[in-house]
A and B are shown apart, each in its own frame.
Chain A
Amino acid sequence: MSAVAAPAKRRSGMSERARAENRLGQKLVAPAIVLMLLVTAFPMLRAIYLSTFDYALTAPEERQFIGLSNYLTALTDPLFWQTTGVTVLYMVVTVTIELVIGFIFAMVMHRVVFARGVIRTSILVPYGIITVVSGFAWQFAFSFQNGFVNGWLPFVGDDFNWFGQTGSAVVAIMVSEIWKTTPFMSLLLLAGLAQVSDDMIEAAKVDGATWTQRLTKVILPNMRAAIMVAVLFRALDAYRIFDNIFVMTSGAVRTESISFLTYRQTIEQFQLGMGSALSVLLFLSVLVVAFLIVRLFRVDLAQARQG
């Protein structure tokens, strides 16, 4: 199709065929665009607007324009940087562990011939379970009053309070997060793994490639699109970690993420101006993360048609 359209495009604008394709494409994406912008564009602009005011819902008549002061206040506050640091820690640790375990799970699911249904059904269970429920389950599991973790771990005392200090509380939150989202990773990776042709792997084997070579030279490069989608979405999701923190610690002992800080400012303390500024900062930092990941994997979704 493109072989026909390409030369015509170069000479006299677009051919009839290319114009029809253009119209069809735009028609097909229109509903998605409208829906996505409806709920985000206006609130996003409003958040930017509100972020320039000193504005609390408790005292709406005292609202006044203060320019970029909210941003200055936030960026010079150590709390902002501390929560950002914890958030990055949550993201890097959970996504790395999930990628490794998720890939192992995907390999197992790809190979297994017996009890396929049982394995695939159970892998969907943690994924389907509500994050709030996962948070409760692990909070109670780590509880020294009613949990089992202290009894099972030999190097932890029976009355150890996991939620008493930052380090162990962060570990508990990460465990809940990793448990719940690794299946998501493995499902996306499994879909990618299924697209790697067996013939190619077989050919590499015949040519004498070792298992490691087959993995790094054949399987992984051919799965790059799937890996990128999985990592991108999980990383961005992990950066916005909220539910588990809400349920397990309510942000106590410095486990607060930047989303949680924003939520606290907006919803609990009614500081709409400062909350909006934090939202904008959160969005910008998320943009940076996304940019870095896309760069790292060097995949252009729009160009992938040629690939």
Chain B
Amino acid sequence: MMKNRVGTIIGCLLILVWCLLPVAWIISLSFKSEAAITNGSPGFFPADGGGAGWDNYVAVWDNEQFRRAIFNSIGISLIATLLSVIVATLAAYAIARLEFRGKKAVLTIALAIAMFPVVSLVGPLFDMWRAIGLYDTWPGLIIPYMSFTLPLAIWTLSAFFREIPWELEQAAQVDGATSWQAFRKVIVPLAAPGVFTAAILTFFFAWNDFVFGISLTSTENARPIPASLSFFVGADPFNRPASLLAAGAVIATIPIIVIVLIFQRKIVAGLTSGAVKG
């Protein structure tokens, strides 16, 4: 028992170092001055006299395109997540619970799309979106994000739904509830932890996307943050304003931390203890 506890504590420390060290590094980097970066300043922390205070953050935040990109990313990712999870929940319920023709086809299509190399869609999509006026707009990114997060959401949710004790649903129906009532009153609360997990996966996919972001936008109208950061860098990968970029990266990470904190509680409540075991 004692051995177990020590192991768990060591494991926890390992996880914390793993997760937070590179984050600490990029924060530290964001406080190095531009001069220090140009001259070379190896080491984890800024050297004496090589610090920049908040200068890098001020410089980045003053950049109108950067602010727009943050706004675009938050809006686009949230809308795509909400819509995708609703659609995926319906589909996953049907796959886990109902017998119907075409179930195999659904799973095959989902698998094919989950596998589809995004890069190869970019050329044709570029043409299509320009033709119907979706190029460089929010919906122009929301639609592909939904399409590409649906497979993961459906798979995750149907894996969850299959583990739910569905006898409860039948019990409710025996007690006089309709199918819809049994679904809404019994199953939805049981399924909520899975739905939140799917929502997190979906949101992070949308927030992360790079390929669509650089290909389907041209201005700050819809350009999301990863694309904006890479353009901020310029074309030469060997001569980057490292500290400025680090400041931008830290700002771009703040919304993630906020959202992680909000969702995290729901996960802790449901994910591990299981809905029924309590």
Contact = CB atoms under 8 A, between A and B. Distances in A.
Interface of A: 1-2, 5, 18, 21-26, 28-29, 31-33, 35-40, 42-44, 46-47, 50, 104-105, 107-112, 115-134, 136-138, 140-141, 143-148, 150-151, 158, 179, 182-184, 187-188, 190-195, 198, 225-226, 229, 233, 236, 240, 242-243, 246-250, 252, 259, 262-263, 266-267, 272, 275-276, 278-280, 282-283, 286-287, 290, 301-302, 304-305, 307
B117 A136 contact: no
B111 A121 contact: no
B246 interface: yes
Nearest to B116: A40
A82 to B, nearest CB: 18
B78 interface: no
Interface string B251-276: 01100110111011101100111100
Contacts of A188: 156
Interface of B: 4, 8, 11-12, 14-16, 18-20, 22-23, 25-26, 29, 32, 37, 40-44, 87-88, 90-91, 93-104, 106-107, 109-125, 128, 143-144, 146-148, 150-152, 154-156, 158-160, 162-163, 170, 194, 197, 200-201, 204, 207-208, 210-211, 215, 225-226, 229-230, 237, 240, 242, 245-246, 249, 252-253, 256-257, 259-261, 263-265, 267-268, 271-274, 277
The 3 closest A-B pairs by CB, nearest first: A279-B120, A25-B100, A108-B11
Contacts of A182: 18
A209 B97 CA distance: 35
Nearest to B99: A21
Contact of A37 (B98, B103, B109, B200): B109
B245 A122 contact: no
27 contacts: A22-B98, A23-B100, A25-B99, A25-B103, A31-B91, A36-B113, A40-B121, A107-B11, A108-B12, A112-B12, A122-B15, A122-B19, A122-B20, A123-B15, A123-B19, A130-B208, A131-B226, A133-B229, A136-B246, A145-B40, A146-B32, A150-B42, A190-B272, A194-B271, A243-B208, A249-B237, A262-B119
A18 B99 contact: yes
A144 B44 CA distance: 12
B19 A183 contact: yes
B121 A43 contact: yes
Contacts of B225: 130
Contacts of A26: 94, 100-102
Given A121-B261, A125-B20, A125-B257, A225 B246 contact: no
A110 B118 contact: no
Contact of B26 (A2, A120, A136): A136
B117 A283 contact: yes
Given A122-B16, A132-B230, A229 B155 contact: yes
Contacts of B32: 146
Residue with the greatest number of chain B CB neighbours at <10 A, chosen from A1, A46, A129, A133: A133
Chain A binding surface SS class: helix
B224 to A, nearest CB: 9
Nearest to B230: A132
Contacts of A117: 264-265, 268
B245 to A, nearest CB: 6
B123 A42 contact: no
Contacts of B128: 42-43
A38 B143 contact: yes
A62 B84 CA distance: 42
A301 B109 contact: no
B151 A105 contact: no
Nearest to B97: A305
Given A32-B91, A137-B22, A262 B117 contact: yes
Contacts of A144: 42
Given A29-B94, A29-B95, A108-B8, 5 more contacts: A32-B154, A122-B15, A233-B155, A242-B210, A280-B120
B125 A43 contact: yes
Contacts of A148: 25, 42-44
A125 B260 contact: yes
Nearest to B90: A28
A240 B117 contact: yes
B99 A126 contact: no
A105 B12 CA distance: 8
Contacts of B268: 116-117, 120
A103 B41 CA distance: 37
Contacts of B26: 133, 136-137, 140
Given A28-B91, A32-B87, A302 B252 contact: no
B98 to A, nearest CB: 4
